[in-house]
Amino acid sequence: MGNIIYRRKKDSKENNGSRSRRIGGRSQRKMAAEEELLHRQALSMVLHQHQLSQRFDGSMSRRIGSTSSRRHTDPLANNEKKVVESLENIKFRRVVLIHGEGFGAWCWYKTIAQLEEVGLLPTAMDLTGSGIDLTDTNTVTTLAEYSKPLIQYLEALPEDEKVILVGHSSGGACLSYALENFPEKISKAIFLCATMVSNGQRPFDVFAEELGSAERFMQESEFLIYGNGKDEPPTGFMFEKQLMKGLYFNQSPTKDVALAMVTMRPTPLGPIMEKLSLSPEKYRSGRRFYIQTLDDRALSPDVQEKLVRENPPEGVYKIKGSDHCPFFSKPQSLHKILVEIVQIP
């Protein structure tokens, strides 16, 4: 814009200023329009593509990310070629992304596009009763039922194939369950501000310090859902929107929060109240990594630190300025860490 100003010497400073502002305004409007298109595509996929598979395959994620990756400046662009080359010799390139409570495969749309751009093979799936899976949440009573899409995926893998699992929030319980039952299918397990529980512990116990005891929560919580009637035990829970915004999205972009508000679903209660049986031979021998989020109000940094101390993983990473949803609030930082972990021999 400076060149335009000085090239047109006959123009007054005022005219040049207005011209500069007009050009800047057009540029800002163009970027806003492209961002709006990106989110509209994500919304459309989540809300209207029920006839598709539960998984976001490569073509879907590529369609979501194409506009952004082509037209916006990517802070990692200068290093992307080097990263792609360094990943060429990685044996296990499949990255399976598991969402947390209330979320679905849709929440990984930025992460999927970024991982694909460096040559990895990401897959995000809806757990039972989540995302666009039509199962009634109230009928999902066990962690095995809740994790069924992941288990089916692992069962279908070729014998010589392994995957890298990434689990967010309560989705960490599904990672633990998978590590215990399919250790030979998992190259690395990455817990993203997640419930990395110990043997005999319930996923809910991890949140107990934030929400109160399980017993008190079950007796007093206004967010419980009674799918079988008030006289029967609760079957699920869902926070109201304003509380959800404060807990999960205190650093996330407004449009990602809007996407979540129209897409999140109730969480089945049974799976997070189930005690896990985890053995040293299987679960404890798996390669576990933990990513901490340091501005997290749903699972505080202190609680995450406690999880790491009590159940030490192979590596610990931290994302500054991230809320409970780094795939929204700090996608580039999350991507960089995921790629780094993938490359660990």
Q: Which residues are catalytic?
A: 169, 296, 324
The closest alpha carbon to 201, from 299, 308, 274, 268, belongs to: 274
Helix (H) or strand (E) holding 316: strand 315-319
The closest alpha carbon to 195, from 176, 212, 182, 223, belongs to: 176
Count Cα atoms within 13 angstroms, Cβ side, for 147: 26
3-state SS, residue 244? helix
> Which residues have CB under 8 Å from 3's CB, separation 6+?
none
The closest alpha carbon to 278, from 177, 143, 189, belongs to: 177
Cα distance between residue 169 and residue 103, in whole Å:
10
Contact 157, 182 (CB under 8 A): no
Cα distance between residue 316 and residue 89, in whole Å:
24
The type of residue at 5 is: I
